[in-house]
Amino acid sequence: MKRATLIIPVENQVRELDAKLLLSAAAAERGYPVVIGSRAFVHFAASRLPRGVYMAKSMRTLSDRMFGILRRLGHEIIGFDEEGLVRLSDEEYYRRRLSAKALSMVSQLLAWGPDDARAFRAFPGTPDIPIHITGNPRVDIMRAELRAYLEPEVEAIRKHRGGFVLINSNFSEVNHFLPGMSDTLQLAEGSSLAGETEYMKGRARYRVEIYRDFQRMLPELARRFPELHFVLRPHPSESHDSWRALAADSPNLEVINEGSVAPWVLASSVVISNGCTTAVEARILERPAIGYKLREDPAYDHPITDDVAHVARSLGELEALVASAARDELGVRDDEASRSRLAEHVAAIDGAFAADRIVDVLDAAGHADGPPPRASAGRFARGWIANQVRTAQKRINMHRPGHRNHWSYHHHRFPEVGAEELQARIGRMGRALGRYDGIRVERMGRYLFRVGRA
């Protein structure tokens, strides 16, 4: 019997694509047909895709409309939050990231780890549905078993740049690619945004100060270590222009955002960040990380990012840690607090891959036995019409400068990629793991691909 199609949208290519390709290969290995591509174009094609299981990457109010369309078309939805690892306080997380309406259309939830599952269960709008602690395939990509997959990129980076210090910024809410979406900066500057709480206003001021701390630190660090090369990777949704302007007078400071973060972390001598998932990724990749924290506030800080990294509370402390890393003397933080915090937040660091655990969930839910039930003709027609209307609106917005759906922002987050490149990536994953023979990638359309058995 034909299995349900697994539908995997990708929003930020450099962050998500490798992990979701691994999930695609794991599902295709068990016989699931997979559709993967840019989230926008997956949504455009929703009414012509085979009935299947849509892997939602978030469940915000913004998802309400699309989830309703997907359900009317006969698709089932499994929910996951890509931002669920390093997040706001529960109250603000619920207000900004979870929608009771969207969750009412989700059949199962997947969690990064125990803490993420706890947050889902505690949300008043979570329906009585299974919550599975599967981990995220982004962690799979960083595990030792897949280092051989990353090695060609690591070697190419080292060959081109030699040794370097990696600085990862996560200030999209302050320095967004689309200036009108820099909500935190607007709040910190006194703008009144509808519905914002005093907590978020305080956090806005705090994040802007940290952003400025990094702006002051970067050229100074580059000046004090002229023999070292520094690479700044902006968040996938950030503007690069402000960082490039900052780096203009520092010949040993480069701004770049190529490929996924994992090979860059592996190629670096040390990673510097603040409240960023990269600190956790560096810990899993067994590379030293430094949290640069001139200011602290437990109301806004993320404990996991502090507990897995060395913390520098002054520029002098940062310099000492960077110097130690340059001498290859700064090890990975591996004390009891680090191990305990990691286990609390991240599953599938060892044992079965998160990708395989997710396919186990699909099997257990009966999706190996066939697609979800067909929608009635009337219900499908309403979904089809709603999808065409939404697609037309989104395509118009793609030509509106400054709009969140503008082509430039789409290309910024999901540059064009070919089926041959995706096939090569799955091939490298397969060689590293001794798996995925006969898995093929075919182009279905612009930004849209099919993965399955040949």
Q: What is the pTM of this model?
A: 0.93
Query: Do the domain assignments include residue 173?
Result: yes
- Report the pLDDT value the prediction gives residue 81, as an integer from 0 to 100: 97
Could you tell me the residue range of the domain that residue 60 belongs to?
5-139+350-453
Quickly state the pLDDT bin for 175 (edges 50, 70, 90): confident
Contacts of residue 325, defined as CB under 8 A and 6 or more positions apart, other chains included, come to 165, 269, 270, 288, 290
Examine the domain organization and report whether 296 and 182 are in the same domain. yes
Percent with pLDDT over 70 in the chain: 96
Examine the domain organization and report whether 300 and 220 are in the same domain. yes
Q: What is the CATH number of the domain that holds 362?
A: 3.40.50
Query: Do the domain assignments include residue 148?
Result: no
Query: Do the domain assignments include residue 149?
Result: no
- Range name among 35-49, 115-129, 165-179, 327-341 with the lowest pLDDT average: 165-179
User: Per-residue pLDDT tens for 431-451?
Assistant: 999 999 999 999 999 999 999
196 or 30, greater pLDDT: 30
Percent with pLDDT over 90 in the chain: 80
Residue 195 has pLDDT above 70, yes or no: no
Residue 12 has pLDDT above 60, yes or no: yes
Examine the domain organization and report whether 292 and 162 are in the same domain. yes
- Report the pLDDT value the prediction gives residue 176, as an integer from 0 to 100: 79
Place of tokens 């507990």: 307
Place of tokens 């898995």: 439
For the segment 323-350, the average pLDDT, to the nearest whole number, is 95
Residue 38 has pLDDT above 60, yes or no: yes
Residue 186 has pLDDT above 70, yes or no: no
Number of domains in the chain: 2
Quickly state the pLDDT bin for 80 (edges 50, 70, 90): very high
Place of tokens 């979870």: 98
Examine the domain organization and report whether 338 and 216 are in the same domain. yes
Examine the domain organization and report whether 370 and 311 are in the same domain. no
Classify the C-alpha dihedral 50-53-59-61 as positive or negative: positive
Query: Do the domain assignments include residue 184?
Result: yes
Domain boundary among 345, 370, 399: 345
Examine the domain organization and report whether 186 and 315 are in the same domain. yes
Residue 33 has pLDDT above 70, yes or no: yes
Residues 136 and 112 sit within 8 Å (Cβ to Cβ): yes
- Report the pLDDT value the prediction gives residue 347, as an integer from 0 to 100: 98
- Report the pLDDT value the prediction gives residue 377, as an integer from 0 to 100: 97
Examine the domain organization and report whether 309 and 181 are in the same domain. yes
Q: What is the CATH number of the domain that holds 232?
A: 3.40.50.2000
Residue 173 has pLDDT above 70, yes or no: yes
